[in-house]
Structure 1
C-alpha cells in the first residue's frame, strides 16, 4: 500500500506525528489515497480534504502501519489497538477524528 506525504518510516509515521503509537494511515474520502495525517494531506494532495460521511463508516479506510491490515472506519473508531496485531494506536488521534470522519 502506498502512503503519501512526509512519511518517515515503514509503520506510517510522518514528520508531524512520529511517536511510538503513531502507526496508522488514513484513506482520505476526497482522493482515496492514504496519508499519515491531515497535515501531510494538506501539504501534498493539492486539494482540500473531505471527511467520510457516517453512511460510509463500513469502508476500509484506516491502515495499521504495524501489520498492514485495513480497518473499516467504524472498526477503528471502536478500538484502542489493532484488532489484528494488537498494536496500540495513539489515543490523541481522537482529537483529530473530525478532520477525517463526519461526527455521528
Structure 2
C-alpha cells in the first residue's frame, strides 16, 4: 500500500496486523471515534488514546473499510454485502463477521 495511512502494528503493506494475518485479512476499518484506519479492534485498543466508537446505523453510506490489496474504500453498507473487494476481487476473511458489532451498530 502506498497512499492510505493505517495505524497500529501492521506486519505488511496489505493491512495485516500482529493479531490477524491470514491471507484473507486484508481490510482496515476507519473508526468512527477518530476517523483513523486500523487493521482491527485490538490494534485500536492497544494504540489509540481513546475508546473505540461504533458507526451508527444511519451512517452506513460512509466510506469506512479499506481494501489492503488495492486501497479501494468501501462504504459500510457495501462491505456488509460482499465477501470480496468489488474493485480487485481480493477475498475478505469471513471470520470478520464475528466482530461486526465492534465497529458498526447492528439492528
Aligned length: 104
Deviation at 1:12, TM superposition (A): 0.1
Deviation at 1:21, TM superposition (A): 0.0
Distance 1:14 1:39 in 2: 10
Q: Structure 2 unaligned runs (5+)?
A: none
Deviation at 1:65, TM superposition (A): 0.2
Query: Is 1:16 paired with 2:43?
Result: no
> What residue is the counterpart of 1:7 in the other structure?
10
TM-score by length of 2: 0.96
TM-score by length of 1: 0.99
Match of 1:58 among 56, 61, 65: 61
Deviation at 1:15, TM superposition (A): 0.1
Query: Is 1:100 paired with 2:106?
Result: no
Please provide the CA RMSD for this pair. Answer: 0.4
Runs of 4+ more than 4 Å apart: none
